[in-house]
Structure 1
Amino acid sequence: MDQTPFAGMAESTIMQAAAELVRARQTGSRLDALSCDDLLSLEQGFEIQQQVGLLAGKKVGGWKCALPKPGKWIVAPIYIDDIVRSNHYPLNFATSTVRIEPELACVLGSDLPARSAPYTADDILRSISQVHLSLEVIDCRYTDPHKVTFEQLLADGLFNHGLVLGPQAISLGSNNLPVCLEVTLRHPGVEPVSICGAHPDQDPVLPIVWLANFLSARGIDLQADQVVITGSYAGVLEVPTHQPLDIQFGEAGSLPVFFSTLEE
């Protein structure tokens, strides 16, 4: 694959696609697809994604990632102003339900700058200072995400709307991140739902190793205090808005949250 960001596509086209996604984020509008006629490569989809943050004036507060799959890079920034550290998460659209993914969030205690030598699992383990309970909030800027290519989804940040960063996980650190974790969802008037979940990549640290080396190859640093999530232990859960919710992460603790919408 040609690694030149604008290979086969004019820089103006990359910037136009990024501007379309920025407008959709700022206005809450939905796109049927990006207007560029050319099929995007993964590198071009990633470049558009990076330009979105720059055009919108966003500061990266973390990353979502997973081990790559054939024809797919699972990587996207999470912006600081989309990370909510309280029990109240305001949604910028009207809805009676919201989709979430229960994940463990690793907080970096030291920088992982771009470099020529590859990062190892030991490097990553030493860099993780805390592990928190978290919920990735799922949404995108397309009318029907099933009708656009993966590269256009990558350009939009792979369904990331934001992150609820909950309390520090009880008795969990970088050296004992679980492969399996029972997740229990509770909200008023409904029987609790428990899922015996497992990390999609088995080892929660390996995606961060991949992320560090993927970004490093593109001159992008991981920075201290950034948060990295690597996959849901319970898939995607659809939960109600306007109700107090509690998500139990096995013995690691619980995360209470209330999703409000534009109606409030």
Structure 2
Amino acid sequence: MDQPTQRELARLLATLRREGRQQSGLDQRLVPPDKPTAYRVARMVEEELGRTVAGWKIAAMKEGLQRELRTDSPIYGRVYAPRIKTAPVTVEHARQCSPIPEVEYQARLGADLPPREAPYSIAEVEEAVASLHPGVELAECRFVHDAAFPPLPAILADGAGSGTIAYGPPIENWRERDIAGQEVVLTCNGILRRKGSAAIALDHPIVPVTWLANELSRTGIGLKAGQMISTGTLTGMLRPKAGETFVADFGPFGSVTVTYA
């Protein structure tokens, strides 16, 4: 896939984002042949949009979700300003592109993690995290989930389905608390829909942040202070309907409410 074709795909994806719309399928010549090419296109989308990268999303840290998403490794995408919002958050369902609410811990960086030769350790990354928050990622996709849905590299070029991050107040003394073991409950209009924990889905939220720090270091991008990182779903994926309100209850760590109006 030559550079002009990569740029053509980037311009298409940027246009779909700007206009808040989807399309069915993708011309085969525009499907990136592999993950590295897909991530190069995603960087071009950033250039085309001219928006600030305010955060990142991570998905598929473990094998089960990797199978569901058709990948053999975790994946990531950019989250653009002003798509990082304090909860509660309300969005118009009709203006969302194949929306999926995902319960996730959100980590805000207090220090840069720039590209370097040596890999970052979990301890180094934990030290760089200024705060940890309960949250919900309102994932979206610029491709309609139909029979023509394109292969994974096209989704990675689109930011791995990145949309909006809703986050609650910081968790006090999070380093000393049982983040991994805390059960998280997702309800919809007061009805239980899902349960999960970081221990099962991620091991711990700092694990995916460390993975991302090293991926972005390896590719010369790096992480910046102030960016918010959505660390991966604890409750899987489900489709919301118009009029539904979801509450992600993190027990003593707080709760986050999002509504699809």
TM-score bracket for the superposition, by shorter chain length: 0.7 to 0.9
Match of 1:200 in 2: 201
What whole-Å deviation, never above 9, does each CA across 1:223-254 have from its counterpart, x for those lacking one? 11111122111112444444554321122111
Contact residue 98 and residue 240 of structure 1 kept, 8 A: no
What whole-Å deviation, never above 9, does each CA across 1:115-137 have from its counterpart, x for those lacking one? 12221111101101101111011
Describe the shift of the 1:78–1:138 C-alpha distance in structure 2 as closer, same or farther (beyond 3 A).
same
Describe the shift of the 1:129–1:20 C-alpha distance in structure 2 as closer, same or farther (beyond 3 A).
same
Once structures 1 and 2 are overlaid, which stretch shifts more, 225-234 or 249-258?
A: 249-258
Match of 1:41 in 2: 34
- Letter matched to residue 27 of structure 2: S
- Letter matched to residue 54 of structure 1: E
Equivalent-residue separation in structure 2 for 1:180 and 1:91 (angstroms): 34
> 2:103 aligned with 1:110, yes or no?
no
Q: Percent identity?
A: 26
Contact residue 82 and residue 163 of structure 1 kept, 8 A: yes
Equivalent-residue separation in structure 2 for 1:248 and 1:40 (angstroms): 40
Equivalent-residue separation in structure 2 for 1:245 and 1:194 (angstroms): 11
Contact residue 89 and residue 164 of structure 1 kept, 8 A: no
Equivalent-residue separation in structure 2 for 1:162 and 1:237 (angstroms): 16
Contact residue 11 and residue 48 of structure 2 kept, 8 A: yes
Contact residue 170 and residue 251 of structure 1 kept, 8 A: no
- Letter matched to residue 78 of structure 1: V
Q: How far is 1:105 from its partner? A: 0.6
What whole-Å deviation, never above 9, does each CA across 1:125-164 have from its counterpart, x for those lacking one? 1101101111011220112267311111111111222111
Match of 1:223 in 2: 224
Structure 1 regions of 5+ residues with no counterpart?
Answer: 1-8
Equivalent-residue separation in structure 2 for 1:74 and 1:58 (angstroms): 21
> 2:18 aligned with 1:26, yes or no?
yes
* 1:157 match: secondary structure: coil
Q: How far is 1:166 from its partner? A: 1.8
Equivalent-residue separation in structure 2 for 1:145 and 1:44 (angstroms): 24
Match of 2:174 in 1: 172
TM-score, scaled relative to structure 1: 0.83
Q: How far is 1:177 from its partner? A: 5.8
TM-score, scaled relative to structure 2: 0.84
- Letter matched to residue 37 of structure 2: Q
Equivalent-residue separation in structure 2 for 1:246 and 1:92 (angstroms): 16
Q: Which structure has more helix as a fraction of its residues?
A: 2
* 2:155 match: secondary structure: helix
Match of 1:151 in 2: 153
Query: How large is the Cα RMSD of the aligned pairs?
Result: 2.6
| Alignment: residue pair count | 249
Give runs of aligned pairs for residues 127-138 of structure 1, distance below 5 A.
Answer: 127-138=128-139
* 2:195 match: secondary structure: strand
- Letter matched to residue 85 of structure 1: T
- Letter matched to residue 174 of structure 2: L
- Letter matched to residue 209 of structure 2: I
* 1:81 match: secondary structure: coil
Which protein has the larger Cα radius of gyration, Structure 1 or Structure 2? 1
Match of 2:55 in 1: 62
Equivalent-residue separation in structure 1 for 2:205 and 2:57 (angstroms): 12
Contact residue 194 and residue 235 of structure 2 kept, 8 A: no
